[in-house]
Amino acid sequence: MIIKETYTITGAKGRLMLADLTFDKAHRHAPIIIFAHGFKGFKDWGTHNLVAHYFATRGYRFLKFNFSHNGTTPDEPVDFADLIAFSENTFSMELADLDRIIDFACNGTALPRAQSVILMGHSMGGGISIIKTAEDSRVSKLITLAAIAGFGNLWPKSEEAQWKIQGLRYVENKRTGQQMPLKATLLDDLERNPGRLDIITKAEQITQPWLIVHGHDDATVPVSQAKKLKVAQPEAELLIIPKSDHVFNATHPYAEQELPAALQQVCEAVFNFIEK
């Protein structure tokens, strides 16, 4: 019997993060996969719940969460209802959030304690997961899905000077039509922490098994980013999914009961990887 439990966890700056754990009731002590969503993403986007169910039926606990400053709130987990919080987000805060989520999984307070976790990150969440894996021995395996190879790839370099002058820039959410604000503190974070936030450098330091997955037709994060990560860490496995976009042909909302073929292929490859 597959069930889902919901938790509220304190994240960066005391903001609450909504999280959920999907698992088979008969496997309450199963290994935990932690999923980190990407930029302008959230834990219940599109097919994320179907992916959680896929792994729960195969003997894993699947823990996903909303980063504390992703723009959602515990009361409105699928809407960007708090754009002030979104504007104040930084990469360092996301790393702090992820650390708290791993603490939650491993300390045994609210759920059976995990000795280690399998980390899975999509897009920007993939970049965050690479850094965290290099830093944290509690991560036993890493899977990145359409991950960025550098945070500077999230915006045009030519816009940074004006962004610093104005202190604020906006990014459009094409799905909702919202103009989502980003303070220049995001740039400040990169400048203050150049070593820690260098994804390629951190990729070189990873010793855990790592599967890099990318869609061949990804127009958001080009497949060349995956190849850069593979060069940085030759021991990682690289899987390129043909005829697949940034979200492996998923959509939001997603009304189907079955995963898109490309995402099904991703899940099967991930399952085979973590079963090794």
What digits encode the pLDDT tens for the residues 63-106?
999 999 999 999 999 999 999 999 999 999 999 999 999 999 99
CA distances from 63 to 86, 129, 171, 242, 271 (A): 22, 14, 28, 28, 15
Q: CA 132 from chain center: how many Å?
A: 11
Unique residue bearing structure tokens 């894996």: 133
Average predicted confidence (pLDDT) for the chain: 97
Q: Which pLDDT does position 234 carry in this prediction?
A: 98
User: The domain 2-275: what is its CATH number?
Assistant: 3.40.50.1820
- pLDDT per residue over 234-268, tens digit each? 999 999 999 999 999 999 999 999 999 999 999 99
Structure tokens at 236: 């990682």
The confidence score (pLDDT) of residue 118 equals 98
Q: Please state, in angstroms and as integers, the Cα–Cα distance from residue 164 to each residue in 92, 145, 167, 182, 206, following that order.
A: 19, 31, 5, 11, 33
Q: In this predicted structure, which of 20-29, 107-116, 200-209 has the lowest mean pLDDT?
A: 107-116
The pLDDT assigned to 146 comes to 98
* Paired tokens of 26: 């008969």
Q: Which residues of 237-250 are buried (b: 16+ CB within 10 A; e: fewer)?
A: ebbbbeebbbbbbb
pLDDT of residue 3: 96
The whole-number pLDDT of residue 194 equals 97
Query: Residues 120-172: pLDDT tens digits?
Result: 999 999 999 999 999 999 999 999 999 999 999 889 999 999 999 999 999 99
37-122-192 Cα angle (round to 5) = 80
Structure confidence at residue 110 as a pLDDT band (50, 70, 90): confident
pLDDT band with cut points at 50, 70 and 90 for residue 109: confident
Single out the residue of 83, 90, 85, 84 nearest to residue 17, CA to CA. 85
Q: For the chain, what are the domain ranges?
A: 2-275
pLDDT of residue 153: 85
The mean per-residue pLDDT over the stretch 189-195 comes to: 97
pTM greater than 0.85 (yes/no): yes
